[in-house]
Amino acid sequence: MRVDGYRKFCNKLWNATRFALMKLGEDFVPSAEATLTGNESLAERWILQRINVAARDVNAALAEMNFMVATTAVYGFWLYDLCDVYIEYIKPITAPNADPVSRNSALQTLYTCLDQGLKMLHPFMPYVTEELWQRLPRRASETSPTISLSTYPEIREDYDNSQVVSEFELAMSIAKAGRSLTASYNVLSKSKFYVSNASASGFALTSSQADGIATMIKGCQSIVALKPGEAVPAGCAVFSVNDEVAMHLLVRGSVDIEQEVAKIEKKIAKTTKLKDSLAAKVSIPKYEETVPEEVRESNSAKLSNYDAEIDALQAAIKTFLTLEGAE
């Protein structure tokens, strides 16, 4: 299972690098040094901070010869930070019609991620990282003919920015809230969101990050940041992100509430039937004496799961019936 998982990771690494190279284009020229320009977006500053964290953890683990911690750190950076978040989040910034300065900055940061990420991973996956690194264009300051002789990534003070982490995590929490709402209300395409903010700083953040947040929500059509005190349109479902920020999904006109409730009620009936059937089996005479312990434990867990599922479904019905602004 673990070997198969890392095989899939190799495929992910290969595909992500090839996709990134297509984004960069054949005429891309990396900056001579991997220094900040001041044009970096929130997402860029966040991913550079994550590179710093990965470099710190990998170097510390290698110094202690703790290879499990080292591989976990670099694996996490590639899979969860770079592939799952940054590459997706910057799609609006790197679109052909995007602002040229912002687009170039995002691509330069993407190149830095590839270069540094492959170097960090090289001791553990030497062949695939060498192959991919050789396909990258070179910085003017890079003189090594092989990744094996290149400088290993270390912490950079100019990448260290702890404040950006909380700001970007808020943006990701808003995206997560949006995904939760679309799943709960089965609005899987052309979804429209409104982000209410209790503070001017919250509005500034959500308005500036609206495009990036939208890319993280499948089927999202639009996200509108509302100023403090600005009313949320009627017919929205709400998900509170924190004390100051809430995500609202416009469901009126997109969801047939009666139909959705009917679907849930059918699921409740089906689950209840399964629960009652199992409850009858565990109520037979001498059940404790005749049924093996592992079977009894399994049945007990199933009954608990049925109860939890029924509770969740009933809560979903209540949510549908108390939609914000529903009449």
Does the structure show a pLDDT above 90 at 7?
no
What does the DSSP 8-state code read for residue 36?
A: -
147-to-144, 150, 191 alpha-carbon distances in Å: 7, 5, 45
Range name among 33-37, 284-288, 315-319 with the lowest pLDDT average: 315-319
Which pLDDT score is estimated for 112?
97
Mean pLDDT value of segment 191-199? 94
Which pLDDT score is estimated for 206?
96
Which pLDDT score is estimated for 324?
52
From the number of C-beta atoms within 10 Å of its C-beta (0-12, 13-18, 19+), residue 263 rates as: middle
187 against 50, higher pLDDT: 50
Residue 327's pLDDT band (cuts 50, 70, 90): very low
Q: Which of 177, 184, 188, 180 is nearest to 319 (CA)?
A: 184
Mean pLDDT value of segment 70-99? 94
Which pLDDT score is estimated for 1?
62
- Residue 83 has a CB neighbour count (10 Å cut-off) of 21
- Computed over every residue of the chain, the mean pLDDT equals 91
Angle among Cα 152, 153, 158 to the nearest 5 degrees reads 150
Which pLDDT score is estimated for 313?
85
* CB-based contacts of 172, cutoff 8 Å, min separation 6: 85, 216
pTM (two decimals) = 0.81
163-171, long-range: CB < 8 A, 24+ apart: 164/42, 164/45, 164/46, 164/49, 165/46, 165/49, 167/42, 167/46, 167/205, 168/42, 168/43, 168/45, 168/46, 170/205, 170/241, 170/242, 170/245, 171/42, 171/205, 171/206, 171/209, 171/212, 171/213
Distance CA 182, CA 31 (A): 41
Which pLDDT score is estimated for 3?
67
Mean pLDDT value of segment 2-6? 70
Which pLDDT score is estimated for 225?
97
